[in-house]
Amino acid sequence: MQPLRKIVICPNPIRDAGFELTNAIRDLLSTRGAEVSVVPLFDVYTGQNAVSEITSALADAELMVCLGGDGTILHTSKYAAAAGVPILGVNLGTLGFIADLERDGWKDIAKVLSGDYIIDERMMLTVSVVRSGKTIVSNTGLNEAAITNGAGTRSVWLTLFSDGLKICRFSGNGVVIATPTGSTGYSMSAGGPVVEPAAASMVVTPVCAHALMDKAFVLSKDRRVIVEVYDGCPAQLSVDGDPAIALERGDSVQIIRSDLITRLVHVSERSFFEVVGRKLNLAI
């Protein structure tokens, strides 16, 4: 692969307190001839997101090194995807399915300077809320769209469609529509399958559904999934953990494959199955 030398480091300042690891990575790459800039994900005191700074830094970057948990990568993925910049993640969180490296393997980042890496392309979702025939909000996510009853204990009633064809109607805590990347997140916790990234599909997983509607559906990546809210308690939509959007009765949430893709850089030799086995303590 072509060497990557214009690098943006995007740390989560809570995960990397004092930017100790950030500074170590910057020094390692800089001493080997890379052009390195550091843009923290957000201000640790105000909580303000550094969206404009990240977007500006990515304009002529060749790689983003993301330090934090999976949530950090999810938050930055839409900006990196829009700029066409690949991401190399270093896991400073808990499970960390998306990040390629763990904290103790951070020095392997230097492999990108010699072209010793591969790129894994991951599909993303475009999620839109339609109310009274008008799209009121749209978002992009790498992991999932979750339509839930929020923190309440009452059920929400939902109807699911695929390309206009009704799949089912059920009540419960909600539904998760996930990419293969997101299949190891909320969807898996709700009983959905683990899907390898190369499958490029959408996983529709009901959450705590009543009656017999408790099975996940694996759909083609090219389907248009629609979730209609028709009764029950107030529902809400969250895309990749972004702030929730309140949904009203009659709203529909439309999910399609995005034109954007997230490109993940791998410098380790771990396979997807090794990562899943290690994180979930499977005997493989």
Mean pLDDT by 10 residues, the chain (284 residues): 96 94 98 97 81 94 96 95 98 89 96 97 98 96 94 83 93 95 94 92 92 81 96 88 93 97 94 80 56
Q: What is the pLDDT of residues 119-144, one digit of tens each?
A: 999 999 999 999 999 999 999 999 99
In this predicted structure, what is the pLDDT of residue 276? 81
- The backbone region for 208, taken as left when phi is positive above 0, alpha when psi lies in -120 to 50, beta otherwise, is left
Same domain, residue pair 111 and 133 = no
In this predicted structure, what is the pLDDT of residue 139? 97
Same domain, residue pair 134 and 252 = yes
In this predicted structure, what is the pLDDT of residue 151? 63
Same domain, residue pair 130 and 109 = no
Catalytic residue among 16, 70, 108, 251: 70
Any catalytic annotation for residue 43? no
- 70 lies in some domain: yes
Antiparallel, parallel or unpaired: β 63-68 and 87-91: parallel
Same domain, residue pair 252 and 222 = yes
198 burial type by CB count under 10 A (0-12 exposed, 13-18 middle, 19+ buried)? exposed
In this predicted structure, what is the pLDDT of residue 45? 72
Q: What is the pLDDT of residues 139-182, one digit of tens each?
A: 999 999 999 997 666 889 999 999 999 998 899 999 999 999 99
In this predicted structure, what is the pLDDT of residue 137? 97
Q: What letters, b where the CB count within 10 A reaches 16 and e where it falls short, cover 117-155?
A: beeeebbbbbbbbbeeeeeeeebbbbbbbbbbbbeeeeb
Our count of domains for the chain comes to 2
- 248 lies in some domain: yes
What are the phi and psi torsion angles at 42 (to 5°)? -160, 165
Antiparallel, parallel or unpaired: β 87-91 and 101-102: parallel
- 66 lies in some domain: yes
Same domain, residue pair 194 and 249 = yes
Same domain, residue pair 75 and 138 = no
Q: Scanning the structure block, which residue is given the tokens 């199955």?
A: 273
In this predicted structure, what is the pLDDT of residue 155? 87
In this predicted structure, what is the pLDDT of residue 274? 84
In this predicted structure, what is the pLDDT of residue 211? 65
Query: What pTM value is reported for the model?
Result: 0.93
Give the residue numbers spanning the domain of 82.
Answer: 6-117+267-279
Q: d(Cα 122, Cα 221) in Å, to the nearest integer?
A: 11
- 67 lies in some domain: yes
